[in-house]
């Protein structure tokens, strides 16, 4: 189904999701609605194992929220709360998705764009990026999960430096902070994301899904409870056909053919 601002193309088991709301791809209400719809579709398609999120054009990944739309919420705590919770819900779909989600970041990734990137599993940035959460400069805070995910992703101190100063950071700063996992030339961002996707897709799908769940859920638990979660997920994999295939292929020195079973 063709949408106005967010669409995706499937290449084998990879979905490439593009936010195309020119010129800066802001997260309007319609963009958020379409992004949520697309991840509902992707989640239901077991033929898809990895999704890449990219921004249309060359100026921005996502330059932030639709500030012009703030007029609908100023003066109404209830409307602002509902808007924040709605954005959080969409980003939670991405973070908790069965598929691995890679952010392919070019140009600006500000405010909601940085929060969207933080909800992804892996972040690849071009050497031209500018990233940050400047909401305090408007009299706000990151409200789509940014204060929580950034603290978990890069630590409380660095998260406070980002959020409280509202500063912008370049690619070198971002990778040193742990906000980006890899920096490549701007023109190579999507191809690099696809190479990483291919490496993930070569592995056993159920194992990849279990590994993502173990990390995402385990980080919120105490160490011993996290260990129990890991053991439970590991033991579930021992009764899969894919494990039998993987072990057989290893012994027989051939490429495994996994079926997500």
Is residue 209 annotated as a catalytic residue, yes or no? no
Which structure tokens are listed for 94? 């991405």
| Catalytic option among 11, 41, 43, 115 | 115
Is residue 135 annotated as a catalytic residue, yes or no? yes
| Catalytic option among 43, 95, 135, 209 | 135
- Residues with catalytic roles: 115, 135
């Amino acid at each position: 189904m063709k949408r106005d601002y967010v669409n995706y193309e499937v290449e084998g088991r990879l979905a490439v999701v593009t936010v195309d709301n020119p010129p800066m791809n802001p997260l309007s209400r319609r963009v958020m609605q379409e992004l949520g719809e697309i991840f509902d579709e992707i989640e239901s398609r077991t033929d898809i194992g990895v999704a890449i999120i990219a921004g249309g054009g060359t100026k921005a990944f996502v330059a932030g929220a639709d500030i012009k739309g703030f007029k609908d919420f100023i003066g109404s705590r209830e409307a602002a709360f509902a808007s924040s919770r709605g954005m959080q819900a969409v980003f939670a779909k991405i973070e908790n998705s069965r598929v691995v989600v890679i952010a392919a970041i070019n140009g600006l990734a500000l405010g909601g764009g940085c929060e969207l990137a933080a909800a992804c599993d892996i972040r690849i940035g071009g050497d031209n990026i500018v990233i940050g959460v400047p909401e305090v400069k408007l009299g706000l805070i990151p409200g789509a999960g940014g204060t929580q995910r950034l603290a978990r992703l890069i630590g409380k101190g660095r998260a406070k430096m980002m959020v409280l100063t509202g500063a912008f950071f370049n690619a070198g700063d971002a990778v040193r902070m742990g906000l980006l996992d890899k920096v490549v030339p701007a023109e190579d961002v999507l191809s690099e994301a696809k190479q990483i996707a291919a490496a993930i897709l070569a592995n056993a799908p159920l194992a990849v899904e279990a590994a993502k769940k173990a990390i995402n859920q385990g980080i919120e638990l105490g160490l011993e409870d996290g260990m129990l979660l890991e053991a439970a997920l590991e033991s579930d994999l021992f009764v899969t056909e894919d494990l039998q295939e993987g072990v057989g292929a290893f012994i027989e020195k051939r490429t495994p053919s996994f079926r997500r079973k």
